[in-house]
Each structure stands twice: as structure tokens, then as C-alpha cells.
Amino acid sequence: MNDSSRSSRWPATAIAACLHVTTETANLMRTLKAGGADVVLCASNPLSTQDDVAAALVEEYDISCFAIKGEDHDTYYSHIEAAVDHKPHFTMDDGADVIGVLHSARREQLGDVIAGTEETTTGVIRLKALELEGKLGFPIIAVNEALTKHMFDNRYGTGQSTIDGIIRATNVLARGQRSSSSVATAGSAVVSRPAHAAWARHVIITEVDPMKALEAGHGRLRGHDDGESRQDRRDLLHRHR
Ligand SMILES: NC(=O)c1ccc[n+]([C@@H]2O[C@H](COP(=O)([O-])OP(=O)(O)OC[C@H]3O[C@@H](n4cnc5c(N)ncnc54)[C@H](O)[C@@H]3O)[C@@H](O)[C@H]2O)c1
């Protein structure tokens, strides 16, 4: 079946995605479009936007993309509004910003949305709060709750980005730091553990969850030569059971 006969039989499903505007996301958008969806993309984080990717989506693939690297607060939210203007049947979020606008300024559109996905820890926390208040307007797949996302993407993918971010922000040479450095983190987040392992001789963690605080203190989260802490391995085994 060619594209024109498909679109004449079924109206296109509108999808508003608010994700990191990178090559990986661009290929997801191309795939959704090839499957018949009418997609728009905006950025979930202005600092990760790849401007050449945003331009290629518009110029080469005819996919609307609202994102500029380093965009300011007002531009960021005007881009989310533009994605919501698309009248989505499905949403895809990384931080719950599209869902947030739909539940505040655009409540009249809530009934048109069939379902959505939420990628990250922070977004899932925001959505669970909405659900507890009985205010969640449509069902959401909490992608972050998939063990393959939380345990691998957060721990190793974002975990590596955390180290990269610290190096870029401070311009320090990692080699030799472990013998003298202290690392302090708010929360015993899995995304911070590779940074503990890479640098930490002294680890200071503030934690609101008493069991996680106990676990972090007990395991000491100390690094090993292969860059992975013993505590990481113990968590991995424990959560698999
Ligand atoms: N930029 C990205 O690509 C990306 C990817 C993954 C995760 N993240 C973000 O990284 C952060 C951590 O994610 P994670 O999956 O590692 O989280 P996690 O659930 O493993 O850990 C978060 C910890 O913080 C603790 N905490 C919550 N409030 C606190 C407070 N006020 N003081 C001290 N501790 C507190 C929680 O009890 C929990 O143990 C989140 O904000 C998440 O959205 C970003």
C-alpha cells in the first residue's frame, strides 16, 4: 500500500513529542512518520538540542521541529505551546512538560488525548503526584519504570553523561583525582553512581528516603578499578530477583 492510499483510509494520528532533539530521537520521529503518524517535535532540554538535526527534520523529512540549542525560558515554553497546538492524540514526554501544559493552560484538549509516554524519573514523580490528586487526564506509560530504562539508561547512559558534564563544567583532569577528591550528591540517584566510582575517595550523600540512605551508607558506594562500584553490582543482582 502506498502512502496516499493509507492516508485516505485512516486519518493520521497526531503525536506531540517533547524529547532530546538528537539523532536518535530524529530517527524515532522518522519511524513514526513512516508508520503513518503526523508528528511534531520540541525539545525537552534546550542544552541537548542539536541544531543541525532539528534543521534536517524540517528540511529533509518535512517533520515540524520546534527547538533551538540554548533557547531561553520563554522560547522553550512557546515551543511546547506550538507542539500542543498540534492537537495531539498521543504525547511523548521527557520531564512531563507537554503533559504539564495540557493539564494547566490547555485543559480543554485533555479529552482528545488517548495516551502518552513519560521517559524520566522527574516526569514520573510529577505524574504520580497528579494521579494521587485524581487529576491525571489520560493514561501514561511510565517508560522510566521499565527496568531496562532505569537500570541501564539512567545508570550507565546518563551516568556517563554526568561524568562528562562535570569534566566540561570544571575542566578537571579525572586521572589522579580519586586519591584526593570528595563528591557530594543530593540523593543516592543511580545516575550519580558512576561519578562516585570515577572520582570518589570521600562520598557525601543527602537522601530523603531512610532505606536508601542506610543502603548508601552501608555500601559506601566506593569505586573499583573497573569504574563500577561494588554497591552497583549488589543493587543490580537484588533488583533482578
Ligand atoms: N538528562 C537526562 O537524560 C536524564 C536521564 C535520566 C535521569 N535524569 C534525571 O536524573 C535525576 C536522577 O534520576 P535517577 O533515575 O538516578 O533517580 P533515582 O530515583 O535513582 O534517585 C533519586 C534519589 O533522590 C532522592 N531524593 C529525592 N528528593 C530528595 C531531596 N530533596 N534530598 C535528597 N535526596 C532526595 C530519592 O529518595 C532517590 O533516592 C532525575 O532528576 C532524573 O529525571 C536525567
Measured in degrees and rounded to the nearest 5, phi and psi for residue 141 equal: -85, 120
Closest residue by Cα to atom 4, ligand 1, is: 158
Q: What is the mean pLDDT of residues 38-67?
A: 98
For residue range 191-211, list pLDDT tens digits in order.
887 777 777 677 788 889 988
Q: Rounded to the nearest whole angstrom, what is the distance from the C-alpha of residue 27 to the centroid of ligand 1?
A: 27
Q: What is the pLDDT of residue 178?
A: 67
Domain ranges for the chain: 3-145, 173-239
Ligand 1 atom index nearest CA of 209 = 37
Ligand 1 centroid, distance to 154 Cα (angstroms): 9
Residue owning the nearest CA to atom 35 of ligand 1: 187
Rounded average pLDDT over 122-135: 96
Q: Where are the beta strands (DSSP E) in the chain?
A: 14-19, 38-43, 64-66, 90-93, 115-118, 140-142, 182-186, 202-206
Q: Are 201 and 181 in contact (CB under 8 A)?
A: yes
DSSP 57-86: HHHTT--EEE--TT--HHHHHHHHHHHHTT
Nearest CA to ligand 1 atom 1: 158
| pLDDT at 60 > cutoff 80 | yes
- Domain 3-145 is classified in which CATH homologous superfamily? Adenosylhomocysteinase-like (3.40.50.1480)
Ligand 1: residue of 153, 155, 161, 207 to mutate (most ligand atoms within 8 A of CB) is: 207
Per-residue confidence (pLDDT) for residue 218, from 0 to 100: 72
Q: What pLDDT was estimated at residue 239?
A: 39
pLDDT band at 151 (very low <50, low <70, confident <90, very high): confident
Q: Give the confidence band of 71 by pLDDT, cuts at 50, 70, 90.
A: very high
Q: Which three cell numbers stand for residue 160?
A: 556517563
The counts of H helices and E strands in the chain are 11, 8
pTM value is 0.83
Q: What is the pLDDT of residue 219?
A: 60
Q: Please count the other Cβ atoms lying within 10 Å of the Cβ belonging to residue 107.
A: 12
Q: Is the CB of 188 under 6 A from ligand 1?
A: yes
The pLDDT of residue 202 is: 78
Ligand 1 probe mutation, 151, 191, 203, 239, most atoms within 8 A of CB:
191
pLDDT band with cut points at 50, 70 and 90 for residue 160: confident
Q: What is the pLDDT of residue 240?
A: 34
pLDDT tens-place string over residues 5-47: 444 566 789 999 999 999 999 999 999 999 999 999 999 999 9
pLDDT of residue 227: 41
